Amino acid sequence: MINILVTGASGQLGKTLNDVKLEYPKLDFVFLDSKQLDITDNLSIEKAFTLAHFDFCINCAAYTNVEQAEKTPEIAFKVNAEGVKNLALACKESNVTLIHISTDYVFDGEKTGPYTIEDTPNPINEYGKSKLAGEKYIQEILDKYYIIRTSWLYSKIHGKNFYKTILQKAKKGDVIKVTDEQIGCPTDTINLAKFIIEHKVISKSNFGIHHFSDNIAMTWYSFAASILKYNNFDLYKLLNLNRNYTTFAERPKNSILQ
């Protein structure tokens, strides 16, 4: 039996991993949310690691509020950098392989084509900087690890995300204004969860940095259109293009991962 600790279990990816676990009867999962395992607290981590002899730790714990990270970067760095460092040190001490979820926002978006693992990160906002700092800690501390960068993550069931927000607005009959000035690859948490388990946990090879997305590039506007069409809403009545969309945090114009 392979024992797997999942941190950040109350998030959309953590909950999705919990949903699909029955498909993998040879894997034994322990799911802990931030109240049960606070990665910024070493004592909390030590306690969690005594629950079983874990083979893997899938780190879904993260500070993901991009806008707020710009205003209070110290909070983002506490979780996404220092918290990840704490977890990496614990994994090293307990001989646990860390599977860490990172982001497309480690790139600046200036490249014309897709970003590969060979491209040099250059984040343009505090969230991206904090996630890159976490990646660097892992690389410095561990020999065996997986850093999986993903993009535009959403669940149709769990959490707060773009997919669910568009549907909620459509059901209320609201006019939906969306930008087309950013392009990336939306990624369903189910596909990412199965990728993590099937390609990383079961194969036990190819350590290092990986990119994963659903591999269909689109703008936020075209993503919204596809959501409405898939759910049988009249996108022509509901969807408007917003060319004046602004955010406090700068975001990469292109974050396609390959």
Of the candidates 127, 145, 146, 221, the residue annotated as catalytic is 127
Q: Evaluate whether 161 touches 109 at the Cβ level (below 8 Å).
A: no
Strands 27-31 and 2-7: parallel
**Which has the closest alpha carbon to 57: 17, 107, 114?**
17
In the chain, the amino acid numbered 131 is K
Q: Tokens for 127, please give them.
A: 């969230």
For 96, phi and psi rounded to 5 degrees?
Answer: -110, 135
Give the whole-angstrom CA distance, residue 38 versus residue 87.
10
Q: Evaluate whether 180 touches 173 at the Cβ level (below 8 Å).
A: no
DSSP state of 181: S
Give the whole-angstrom CA distance, residue 131 versus residue 127.
6
Q: Where are the alpha helices (DSSP H) in the chain?
A: 12-20, 42-49, 66-71, 73-77, 84-94, 126-141, 162-172, 189-195, 220-230, 235-238
Q: Evaluate whether 141 touches 88 at the Cβ level (below 8 Å).
A: yes
Q: Tokens for 84, please give them.
A: 């990840």
Does the annotation mark 127 as catalytic? yes
Bridge partners for 183 per DSSP: 219, 254
Cα-based angle 37, 41, 45 (whole degrees, multiple of 5): 50
Catalytic residues: 127
